[in-house]
Copies of this chain bind each other. A is one copy, B any other.
């Protein structure tokens, strides 16, 4: 048989590249580029402990992300795994409408499908990891 077999998991480099693109596309306000990094059936739990979002709720989530001028600054090298997961540690700032700018010290743990698309994103941050920035 000369049949190509898809690998069970993306490579470390593919997962890393996807997370680096995620940061770059958020910082440049590229909503469609961000959505292209996700599997159609992806779920987002942000923060962990809140209900998971999927489908159109994810589109709406990233509409807000762009509208709020969200900027991500990575604070440590991306971590891989020995499976289909990788993690991004970052500080994120954003400007909600009518309110002061905010900063959250966050951490996204993501899983990926064989094509290197994000299938789940879980953001670890608690009430004490958020602060109000001076105007």
A contact set with B: CB distance below 8 Å: 12-13, 16, 47-50, 75-77, 79-87, 89, 105-107, 109, 124-129
Contacts and interface: CB of A to CB of B under 8 A. Distances in A.
A49 B85 contact: yes
- Identical chains in the assembly: 2
21 contacts: A12-B127, A13-B128, A47-B81, A48-B83, A48-B85, A49-B81, A49-B83, A49-B84, A75-B89, A76-B89, A77-B129, A79-B106, A79-B125, A79-B126, A80-B124, A80-B125, A80-B126, A82-B126, A86-B124, A87-B107, A109-B124
A106 to B, nearest CB: 7
A82 B47 contact: yes
A47 B13 CA distance: 17
A88 to B, nearest CB: 10
B48 A81 contact: yes
A86 B124 CA distance: 7
A49 B126 contact: no
A127 B79 CA distance: 10
